[in-house]
Amino acid sequence: MINPHGAESLNPRYVSDETERRLLAAEAEALPSIILSSAAGANAVMLGAGYFTPLSGYMNLADAMSVATEMHTVDGLFWPVPVLNMTRDISPIADASRIALRDPNVEGNPVLAVMDLESVEEITLDQLDVMTEKVFGTLDESHPGVAVFRDSGKYCLAGSIQVLNYSYFADEFAGTFKTAVEIRDEIRERKWETVVAFQTRNPMHLAHEELCRIAKERLNADGIVIHMLLGRLKDGDIPANIREACIRTMVDVYFPENTVMVNGYGFDMLYAGPREAVLHALFRQNMGATHLIVGRDHAGVGDYYGPFDAQTIFDEIPDGALDIEIFRGDHTAWSKKLDKVVMMGEVEDHSPADYITVSGTRMRELLSEGVAPPREISRPEVAQILIDHYQIGEEQTAVGE
């Protein structure tokens, strides 16, 4: 099986021993505490689940700046995106060296993790600008990831953590949320050697399904892990429970048994385009995938990135930085001439009129009207789930008005 990034074994920061975890939870209630931002809480979940191996906690400012500008820590560990605990107010923790980190996304703000506080540093505006520009490629606060990052606070809290739970993800997405440890174990149990990961924050339509199938066939892979983002998205994106229903229905109906795993991970979307694509590859390596599908505008938003910037960045990272390999997907669509979904860059003698495509805006209009998109765009079973979702939303809006 592929090795984790920068280590021979995973480094999950979750305290798995029940007695130790109970004692730590009791200790945490007496510690000075802060309520995390949602992004910092998601980082804690990813650290706890082993996805951020070999990291043991949040980065200090020197490492964060080095990662942003050079894509490696001060000590040389390859890493594409700073892993930070940024906060606005440090008065609750005063001069403490050990603090409790409280969950911003669960009622009552229970303790999510305990942190050995190694440093508290103030981020200057210039440093914030550099990190923002390097990671997101823009300072435009209309970019949803930029807006969240720059509003997280000016203090950087660094140090290792011990994680007590997985926030709301384990309960709300029971059976779907999986740690990197659990996914590796299942891959091993299935005896899969070549494993293709597919990242998604959206329901999967026919083109996505076929892209997974194309990658599996060309790589002669044993299986596919469809890995859903379960954390916060921007306004207007489809909720995770609806996406999960769509994906599971598609897999159950249209894929052979024991060829696809459907799992999710507890992280907030960054919308950081190329840099986030590299982060996606890194933690998919940690969960045991040998390949990651990187398609058109992977992890992008709006027009901030070129359609294939998230692929070309892998040509720029140092050789050997990651062991996982990239399967480069082109824009996929139904070809009227060939009567199947194709990657558009691979077929000859096609004009735009030879494809069946529907814009995202038109797709939402159809679903809101209760009209299923063409079968060449979406599986009917998936379309019905989305129609029900959109129509319930319309009804709730009408009642609210």
Give the residue carrying structure tokens 């938003």. 301
Classify the phi-psi angles of 194: left when phi > 0, otherwise alpha if psi is within -120 to 50, otherwise beta.
beta
Residue 93 DSSP one-character state: G
Cα(88)–Cα(106) distance, integer angstroms: 20
Cβ(99)–Cβ(141) under 8 Å? no
Q: Which of 98, 190, 202, 328 is catalytic?
A: 202
Cβ(144)–Cβ(234) under 8 Å? yes
**Positions of E strands within 22-94:** 33-35, 57-58, 86-87
Q: Which of 21, 98, 190, 201 is catalytic?
A: 201
Question: Is 21 designated active site?
Answer: no
Angle between helices 360-368 and 380-400 (to 10 degrees): 70
Question: Is 201 designated active site?
Answer: yes
Sequence-distant (6+) residues with CB within 8 A of 249 are: 379, 381, 382, 385
Cβ(389)–Cβ(238) under 8 Å? yes
The catalytic residues are 201-202
